[in-house]
Amino acid sequence: MISLDPEALFSIKLSLKVSTISAILVTLFGLPVSYFLALKKFPFRNLVDALVTLPLVFPPTVTGYVLLLLLGKNGVIGSLIYKFFKTGIVFTWYAAVVASSVAAFPIFVKGARAAIESVDRNLLYVSYTLGKGELETFFRVVLPLAKRGIIAAIVLSFARAMGEFGATLMLAGNIPFQTNTIPIEIYSAVSGGDFEKANLLSIVTGVISLSILYLINRLTNRGERW
């Protein structure tokens, strides 16, 4: 019977934990951003749009490096964290969450924004003329109608977080039983010659990815079973 060593098992649990938290964070922050980008005109809209999309086009290592500069002991944000919490997040599993979230954010926003844009604008107008404010309109009209697209975006951002490697390595490092997510574990296994472990972890990743793709298809093609 083939079995995984505790370190590999830890990496699977860590990856699931990091990706789930990332997906939640990305949804919470991404939904308002998507709403504003989809429906509002505001100054520097294009700039915000570009900033949000940046991690998608940046090499992940560069993203990771920029994050390291920002969040490190002497970084703008990092120094504040040190001041208040007396500890840093760089090279902890929190850093893996940050790296995954930043990488997954644009993917979520792209999808959620398209879903919100596809809601007929007149439906919002009707809701406003019927006395409903923007927040109520969002929850009763926009969200139900954009639901499928938004869920698909959440799933995709979860998948992106699962596969995050470059930025995570830069920001969280490769510390066994601390920051070794699946992709990083596979990388160390292969560089250490442990191909059996790499194979197993790859299969695990494959199963997770396939389930995700299947889930998306189920969500986007209504009615069809397979």
Partner 1 sequence: MLEVCVKKRLEGFYLNVQFFSKNKSVALFAPSGSGKSLTLQAIAGLLKPDEGRIRVIDRVFFDSNEKIFLPPQKRKVGYLFQDYALFPHMTVWENVSYGCRDKKRVEEVLEMFEIQDIKNRFPGEISGGQRQRVALARALAFEPEILLLDEPFSALHKSLKLELYERLRRILNEFSIPMVLVTHDFDEVVQLTDYVVIMEKGKVRQEGNPKKVLFNPIDEKVAKLLGHRSFLSGKVVSVKKDWVKVRLKDRKGQLLEAKNFPEDLKEGEDVFVSILPFAVALNPLEDSVKVSAVIKDIMKEKDRNVVVLDLGSDVVLHLPFSLSPNFIIEKGEETDFYLSSSCISVFRRRYEKES
Q: Rounded to whole angstroms, how far apart are CA atoms 167 and 171? A: 6
CB of 140 to partner 1, least distance (A): 8
Verify binding: residue 127, partner 1, rule CB under 8 A: yes
Residue whose CB is less far from partner 1, 69 or 126: 126
Query: Which residues 145-164 are close enough to bind partner 1 by CB under 8 A?
Result: 145
Q: Which of 95, 90, 145, 150 is nearest to 120 (CA)?
A: 145
The Cα–Cα gap between 101 and 17 comes to 12
In the complex, minimum distance from the CB of residue 30 to partner 1, in angstroms, rounded to a whole number: 22
Q: Does 46 bind partner 1 (CB under 8 A)?
A: no
Please provide the distance, in angstroms rounded to a whole number, between the alpha carbons at the two ends of the chain. Answer: 32
Q: Does 128 bind partner 1 (CB under 8 A)?
A: yes
Binding mask 79-98 for partner 1 (x = CB under 8 A): --------------------
Q: Where are the alpha helices (DSSP H) in the chain?
A: 6-39, 45-57, 60-71, 76-85, 93-117, 121-129, 134-137, 143-163, 166-172, 182-191, 195-220
**Binding residue for partner 1 (CB under 8 A) from 120, 192, 214, 221?**
120
Q: Which residue ranges make up the site for partner 1 (CB under 8 A)?
A: 120, 122-123, 125-133, 140-141, 144-145
